[in-house]
């Protein structure tokens, strides 16, 4: 769920205890949405993350090391100018809002001390980070909002900072029994959870459903009559008390079957029954980082590969269209032998054909039944000239057929290569993997080269295939992309090792290191399963995998990365298996 107002009150209490009095040593902005403050606190060095990511807005202490850009963004430079060396003197939550304010005491170039505020508005797609000066005016904002973007509220340097316009709801902190009774009386026929979400600000959907579950035993329970609404009112006042005290406990909800993280909350919830496992976390920072960091990494990786995937998909579509046209042209050349036959027939009877005729009917020398054939003529040409015209057209089509077959063969290889790139993009595990795929496409001139490349001989990156242990203890190496497949198979593997690849489909090369000894059947099946699991057939129940000694695998001259040919191989049918944690 998004960061809720009630949970934020507990988070603020946690952050205040660790960050108040801390000195800001460094400020970085690793991504477009994230700012990291490196703090020197009473208990040691800490890193405070402030994220305005629309999908994962949060504030939390983090232990993760994030890669910073070579050139800091302008917002980061502004924060460094105004906040570096300052001390955090207070952290508070704006009343009833998902807004966190850091009060920071700073000194300017003249040594004059003053207070500035770094405000984190953690409100989903409207999240923002805003730097405000001692006079209340905005110094800068991560996301600037002008009048065209919002008529109600602008966020621009020089303007006074104003809180977002309030909702037409009852603030949770102002909820009392009398007001709640009135709202309940007006909400007959609605579900309890809908009434709470629609009438009271500061309560997240999960919290509204849990209030209904606690009050009536059912998340879909309807609003009771006012005289029977005591349980509902108690649950709403319970949420109000949690916001006032900020004494929540971090809990993570994990899917019991898949193990995936599904939600988080500040108190134990019972609405999901046994579907989710409820786990207490050591802190709200650990809870939020554990829940969102993986998703942020997945989203960032998805964005990095999106351009590559789109480019390759477009190239693949263009290649398919080109192949279709070439195959149609090849079909049109299939009648060329009949042209040669007509030329032969016309040449044999040329002495009988006078100039000026549009066609002639002659005995068909190639027909088994001895029939006749009508041959179209150019009336401006003699019979011999028409013969030469037919032979010329035949030769043209014959040459075109040979050229088209070569082009179709090259196109099919290009298509197979592009399909292999799409498949390896599905297996990208991190930024380094994505960068290597991009370098591969740049090397094949399928993408423009980014930045300046170093000239002169370059030291090739060390191979880093995935590593697994076969049942006998032997090592199985699996390439992660086409270039690594080439390095692994053609340079790193020994000639006596066994090479595996899914049959006639894109996928990784897998190498079983035999050490010169005969491979056991269990090891062969294990390596074959890995080759199938790291291929486009990974989701299938069964897959055919070819395997052969590495000495029987070779790369044709001019072949694309990862493309090899092989002979004297065997085939096994296995269940695809991606393997567990690879070891090093």
User: Is 70 exceeded by the pLDDT of residue 286?
Assistant: yes
How far from each other are the two terminal CA atoms of the chain, in whole angstroms? Answer: 37
Say what the pLDDT of residue 498 is.
97
Distance CA(402)–CA(383), nearest Å, equals 29
At residue 452 the predicted structure's pLDDT band, cuts being 50, 70 and 90, is low
Mean pLDDT calculated for residue range 461-489: 88
- For residue 579, the SS3 value is coil
Residue 19 pLDDT: 94
Q: Tell me which of 2.60.40.10, 2.30.310.10, 2.60.120.380, 3.40.50.10860 is the CATH number of domain 5-141.
A: 2.30.310.10
pLDDT at 96 (0 to 100): 82
Beta-strand ranges (E) seen in 209-257 are 251-255
Where exactly are the structural domains of the chain?
5-141, 170-285, 305-449, 466-574
| pLDDT at residue 109 in the model | 61
Taking domain 170-285, whether its CATH number is 1.10.3210 is answered by no
pLDDT digits (tens, 9 = 90+) for 370-403: 899 999 999 999 999 999 999 999 999 999 999 9
- Spell out a b/e string for 273-296, using b for 16 or more CB atoms within 10 Å of the CB, else e: eeebeeeebeebbbbbbbbbbeeb
* Cα–Cα distance for residue pair 10/96, rounded to 1 Å: 13
Task: Please check whether residue 285 is in contact with residue 14, taking contact to mean a CB–CB distance below 8 angstroms.
Answer: yes
Supply the pLDDT for residue 446. 84
432 — pLDDT class (breaks 50, 70, 90): confident
507-552 pLDDT, tens digit per residue, is: 999 999 999 999 999 999 999 999 999 999 998 999 999 999 999 9
With a cut of 60, say whether residue 482 has pLDDT above it. Answer: yes
The lowest-confidence range among 55-59, 223-227, 456-460, 560-564 is 456-460
Pick the range with the lowest mean pLDDT from 10-19, 434-443, 474-483: 434-443
Give the pLDDT of residue 582.
53
Whole-number Å distance between alpha carbons of 360 and 370: 16
Band of residue 459 on the pLDDT scale cut at 50, 70, 90: very low
In Å, how far are 35, 81, 101, 117, 119 from 285, measured between CA atoms? 15, 27, 17, 21, 18
Provide the pLDDT for residue 305: 82
Position 461 pLDDT exceeds 60 = no
Q: How far, in Å, CA of 579 to CA of 467, rounded?
A: 10
Of 81-90, 189-198, 452-461, least confident by mean pLDDT is 452-461
237 has a pLDDT exceeding 60: yes
State the pLDDT at residue 462: 47
pTM surpassing 0.75?
A: no
Calculate the average pLDDT of the chain. 90
Residue 455 has pLDDT above 60, yes or no: no
Q: Which helix (H) or strand (E) holds 525?
A: helix 521-533
Cα torsion for 219, 223, 228, 232, to the nearest 10°? Answer: 50
* pLDDT of 580: 63
Asked if residues 567 and 514 have their Cβ atoms less than 8 Å apart, the reply is no
Higher pLDDT residue, 462 or 576? Answer: 576
For residue 449, the model assigns a pLDDT of 80
3-state secondary structure of 436: helix
Per-residue confidence (pLDDT) for residue 451, from 0 to 100: 60
Q: Which residue has the higher pLDDT, 438 or 284?
A: 284
């Amino acid at each position: 769920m998004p960061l809720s107002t009630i949970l934020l009150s507990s988070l603020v209490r946690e952050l205040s205890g660790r960050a108040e009095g801390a000195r800001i040593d460094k400020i970085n902005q690793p991504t477009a949405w994230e700012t990291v403050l490196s703090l020197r606190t009473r208990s040691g060095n800490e890193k405070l993350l402030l994220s305005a990511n629309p999908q994962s807005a949060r504030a939390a202490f983090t232990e993760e090391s994030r890669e910073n850009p070579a050139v800091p963004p302008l917002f980061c430079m502004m924060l460094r100018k105004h906040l570096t060396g300052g001390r955090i003197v207070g952290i508070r939550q704006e009343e009833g809002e998902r807004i966190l304010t850091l009060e920071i005491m700073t000194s300017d170039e003249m040594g004059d001390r003053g207070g500035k505020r770094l405000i984190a508005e953690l409100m989903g797609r409207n999240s923002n980070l805003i730097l405000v000066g001692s006079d209340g005016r905005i110094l800068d904002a991560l996301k600037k909002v002008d009048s065209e973007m919002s008529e109600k509220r602008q966020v621009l340097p020089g303007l006074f900072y104003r809180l977002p316009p309030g909702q037409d709801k009852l603030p949770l902190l102002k909820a009392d029994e009398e007001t709640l009774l009135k709202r309940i009386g007006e909400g007959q026929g609605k579900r309890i959870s809908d009434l709470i979400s629609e009438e009271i600000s500061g309560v997240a959907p999960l919290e509204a459903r849990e209030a209904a579950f606690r009050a009536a035993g059912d998340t879909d329970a309807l609003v009771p009559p006012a005289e029977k609404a005591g349980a509902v009112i108690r649950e709403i006042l319970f949420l109000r008390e949690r916001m006032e005290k900020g004494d929540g406990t971090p809990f993570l909800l994990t899917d019991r079957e898949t193990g995936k993280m599904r939600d988080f909350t500040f108190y134990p919830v019972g609405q999901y029954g046994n579907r989710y496992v409820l786990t207490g976390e050591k802190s709200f920072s650990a809870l939020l980082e554990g829940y969102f960091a993986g998703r942020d990494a997945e989203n960032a990786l998805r964005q990095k590969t999106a351009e590559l995937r789109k480019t390759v998909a477009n190239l693949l579509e263009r290649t398919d269209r080109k192949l279709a046209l070439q195959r149609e042209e090849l079909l049109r050349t299939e009648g060329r032998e009949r042209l040669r036959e007509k030329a032969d027939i016309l040449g044999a009877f040329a002495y009988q054909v006078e100039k000026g005729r549009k066609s002639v009917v002659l005995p068909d020398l190639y027909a088994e039944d001895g029939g006749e054939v009508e041959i179209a003529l150019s009336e401006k040409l003699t019979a011999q000239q028409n013969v030469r015209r037919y032979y010329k057209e035949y030769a043209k089509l014959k040459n075109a057929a040979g050229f088209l077959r070569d082009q179709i063969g090259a196109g099919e290889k290009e298509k197979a290569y592009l399909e292999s790139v799409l498949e390896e993009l599905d297996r990208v595990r991190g930024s380094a993997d994505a960068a290597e795929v991009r370098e591969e496409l740049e090397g094949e001139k399928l993408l423009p080269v980014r930045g300046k490349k170093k000239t002169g001989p370059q030291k090739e990156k060390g191979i880093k295939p995935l590593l697994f242990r076969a049942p006998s203890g032997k090592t199985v190496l699996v390439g992660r992309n086409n270039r690594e497949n080439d390095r692994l198979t053609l340079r790193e593997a020994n000639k006596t090792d066994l090479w595996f690849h899914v049959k006639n489909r894109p996928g990784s090369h897998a190498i079983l290191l035999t050490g010169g000894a005969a491979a056991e059947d269990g090891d062969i099946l294990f390596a074959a399963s890995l080759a199938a699991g790291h291929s486009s057939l990974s989701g299938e129940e069964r897959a055919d995998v070819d395997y052969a000694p590495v000495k029987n695998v070779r790369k044709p001259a001019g072949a694309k990365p990862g493309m090899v040919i092989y002979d004297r191989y065997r085939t096994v049918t296995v269940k695809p298996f991606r393997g567990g944690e690879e070891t090093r």
